[in-house]
Amino acid sequence: MNAALAQSATRAAALVVEGIGKSFPAGKGGAKGALRRVLEEIGLEVAPGEILALTGPSGAGKTTLCRILAGLERPDEGAVRLGGRDLAGVPAGRRAVAFLFESYALYPHLTVRQNALSPLQAPNAVGAGAGRLDPAAAERRVDEVLELLEIRHLDARLPGALSGGQKQRVALARTLVQDPALFLLDEPISHLDAKLRHKLRGEIRRRLSAQPAPAIWSTPDGMEALSVGDRVAVIADGRIEQVGTPEQIWLSPVSTRVAKLLGDPPMNLVPGTLAQEGGGLSFTRRELRLALPPALAAAARRAKSAEVVLGVRPDALTLVPPDAAGAARAEIYSNEPFGKHAIVTLDLGALLVKAKTTMSLASGLGDLAGAGTGEGIGAPVGLELPAEGLVLFDGPTGRALPAA
Amino acid sequence: MASAGETMAPGGPARALPRERFWYPYLLIAPSMITLTVVSLIPFIYTVYLSFHAAKFGRVTDFIGFDNYAQLLTDTRFWNSIGVAATFVFIAVPIEFMLGLAGALVLNQNVRGRAVLIPLLFMPTMMAPIVVGLLWKIMLAGSWGFLSYNVLERFNLIEGTSVFASPDLALYALIFVDIWQWTPFMMLAFFAGLQALPLGPYRAAAVDGANPLQMFFHITLPMLTPLLVVIGLLRFIDAFKVFDTVYILTGGGPGTSTETPSILANKMTFEFWNIGEASALAVLVWLAFFAFCNVFYQIAKKRLNAF
């Protein structure tokens, strides 16, 4: 390992990605020589010690971006800089990157322990930042990480004898033992069971935050991204849609695409029209009608089209009796009781809307919907929109209003 | 048998099956079992039977116990044939193995025109062994052989004689032909194995900074070992039994310098008409391989994760 990178591994350095673009051959079905654009003008900055969560639907280009950052793929254009140094000519093995592969990429002929130990014994070992860890220290570190990931008892097994979740934890161990210049975690906990996922999410975040290296954590799960990232980058169709803190992403998604990706269940998107009403603006969709609060109305005045989409989080919706004043009439389409809260899907006339409510059939919802209707399916209820926590999107483009 | 077990599994072995269901699996494997019995098992048992009898000039007479074996084991010609086969195998197979692996690694580097190259490379292995023999006879036969005349004689490497007529060189000429014939097979088998290896470990190693040589020794070789062992073993057994090309090119000569056990057994049967001793030879070779393969299998299973 050369001296410059050895230093950069210890002296924390920011990752800067500028204008990365990448195309692949279109493959089957496409014309010969045709290209498929997978990444377009990707620009990101990750500060030392910062975790950037990269989220987007599968096929959005997350893995390709990680592989370009690691040096396994060459970008068609754009630059990757680590601590001000352009990595264009630097091969993967000299970038001091700890890469967790979505497909695990374990060495099949090595045991769990040997796999976890492998990066510390590698030619360009970045174990101790400035050089190689001595064997005893490396073993201790591996022990500690295997313990953390609850796979120490498996340490003599070969990967072939492990389940998917166990393999993923070995891949995690192999990544976490390192002190690299950059962490790249491609869907690191997607194959773990829910309980372990919750435990490890926090543990891994804690470990990464303690490291001086910038980290990129890719995941198709928007909620996971919001929970692990210091900042979150949303990527769709090879473009960065939005970069921001979890609060920014959650409260003001810049497009319907971002809105659809985040939340459990995700934000309801209700298409409708803007109408002049008295002194202000109102949003209408059939009998659903909402006088826009001043802030939103100001934004709505800048809309180019009267066609807009109103975004409203499921937990902001209130269920009221069907005949309540100002409420839109809806029918209960389905009801998922979670115990603590229920997710009720409502048929709003050719549009399904999900509401997250603390009411259950036993308390409140049953009275609303009228007794004796079984699950309450088909029963009429009223739906009230809140005055806050709403987001307006331009109908034709799907961009948030104001487009600031 | 396995299919019988599966058929019975749902109801459990305790419950009696209808008669036709019991026989059904046996019916399915009957054609192959009957064929194997007729062409393989019965001749083999008959060979063992013959090896314990005086059987000369086409007449099977008295039971003579191990006399055929005793005679064989004291026959220098038998030990010579083992030596010839051992030299043949231990030179030819390692060279085929190395060349095959090297060729496979080159093919695996996305060589241009690979789709055309592979069928061409595979031609020697696809040829009937008799044709291979005749081909090389024409190539190397003394002053009228294509290669021997144009290369060996012109540059005074060998004069006035065929390599197949030289007691010192004939065996090496046969080894050369075997390498020519079987290297492509090794190469394609290894190439197929390389193509099936997962890419993940190579990417991980690239990130860890491994160079091509380290990737080969620490990733490719360990992952390919099971295949290397199986192909190597098959080729080893097959080379030991070599018959057809030797039969065509030298017939075991000059003298006994290229007489492999297969050639010797053939001569014993059809030239000396001593079928009893030839059978004993066949049984001994079989026993040796049976023992060897079992030991090899156990070692490979434990040490190399093969099989």
Q: What is the mean pLDDT of residues A165-183?
A: 91
Set of chain A residues whose Cβ sits within 8 Å of the Cβ of B219? 107
Cα A271 to the center of its chain, rounded Å = 25
The ipTM estimated for the assembled molecules is 0.75
Residue A290 phi/psi, 5° resolution?
-145, 120
Q: What is the mean pLDDT of residues A232-236?
A: 93
The partner residues of A85 in beta bridges, in order of sequence, read A82
**Residue from the list A97, A107, A109 with its beta carbon closest to the beta carbon of B207:** A97
CB-based contact, A183 to chain B, within 8 Å: no
CB-based contact, A111 to chain B, within 8 Å: no
Maximum CA extent, chain A: 77
Tell me which residues of chain A, numbers 78 to 97, contact chain B at a CB-CB cutoff of 8 Å: 91-95, 97
DSSP assignments along A175-190, one per residue: HHT---SEEEEESTTT
| Of A2 and B259, the one with more pLDDT | B259
**Residue from the list B201, B208, B223 with its beta carbon closest to the beta carbon of A119:** B208
**Given phi > 0 = left and psi -120 to 50 = alpha, else beta, which region is A261?**
alpha
To the nearest whole Å, the CA of A384 is away from the closest chain B CA by 52
> Residue A403 pLDDT > 50, yes or no?
no
Nearest one of A89, A12, A10, A80 to A42, comparing CA atoms: A80
Question: What chain A residue is nearest to B226 in terms of C-alpha separation?
Answer: A109
* Pairwise CA distance, residues B83 & B102, whole Å: 29
Q: What is the reported pLDDT for A3?
A: 42
Q: What is the mean pLDDT of residues A232-251?
A: 92
> Residue A8 pLDDT > 50, yes or no?
no
The chain-wide mean pLDDT, for chain A, equals: 84
Cα A68 to the center of its chain, rounded Å = 19
* Pairwise CA distance, residues B240 & B284, whole Å: 13
To the nearest whole Å, the CA of B292 is away from the closest chain A CA by 26
Q: What is the reported pLDDT for A285?
A: 82
> Residue A214 pLDDT > 90, yes or no?
yes
**Residue from the list B204, B209, B218 with its beta carbon closest to the beta carbon of A124:** B209
Residue B220 corresponds to which tokens in the numbers above? 């490719």
Set of chain B residues whose Cβ sits within 8 Å of the Cβ of A125? 208
Q: Which residues contact A39 (CB under 8 A, 6 or more apart)?
A: A20, A21, A22, A61, A64, A65, A68, A75, A238
Set of chain A residues whose Cβ sits within 8 Å of the Cβ of B204? 99, 101, 105-107, 118, 174
**Helix pair angle (B275-303, B221-240), 10° resolution:** 170
> Residues A137-149: pLDDT tens digits?
888 999 999 998 8
> Residue A99 pLDDT > 90, yes or no?
yes
Q: What is the mean pLDDT of residues A346-370?
A: 74
Identity of the highest mean pLDDT range in A92-96, A317-321, A397-401, B40-44? B40-44
Q: What is the reported pLDDT for A170?
A: 93
Q: Using the beta-carbon criterion (under 8 Å), do A103 and B200 form an inter-chain contact?
A: yes
Residue B92 phi/psi, 5° resolution?
-65, -50
Tell me which residues of chain A, numbers 204 to 223, contact chain B at a CB-CB cutoff of 8 Å: none
Q: What is the pLDDT along chain B (307 residues), one digit of tens a residue?
A: 344 444 444 444 556 667 778 888 899 999 999 999 999 999 999 999 988 888 788 777 888 888 888 888 888 888 999 999 999 999 999 999 999 999 999 999 888 888 888 889 888 988 888 899 888 888 887 667 777 766 766 666 666 677 787 888 889 989 999 999 999 999 999 999 999 999 999 999 988 888 888 899 989 998 998 899 889 988 999 999 889 889 988 888 788 888 999 998 898 888 888 888 889 999 999 998 899 888 988 888 777 665 5
Q: Which residues of B touch A (CB under 8 A)?
A: 198, 200-201, 203-211, 214, 218-219, 222-223, 225, 305
Read off the pLDDT band of A372 (50, 70, 90): very low
What is the percent of chain A where pLDDT is above 70? 88
Q: Using the beta-carbon criterion (under 8 Å), do B201 and A107 form an inter-chain contact?
A: yes
Q: What is the reported pLDDT for B141?
A: 77
Set of chain A residues whose Cβ sits within 8 Å of the Cβ of B213? none
Domains annotated on chain B, with CATH: 2-51 (no CATH), 71-303 (1.10.3720.10)
> Residue A11 pLDDT > 60, yes or no?
no
Domains annotated on chain A, with CATH: 3-251 (3.40.50.300), 261-401 (2.40.50.140)
Question: What chain B residue is nearest to A183 in terms of C-alpha separation?
Answer: B207
SS3 content of chain B, % helix, strand, coil (to 5): 75, 5, 20
> Residue A124 pLDDT > 90, yes or no?
no
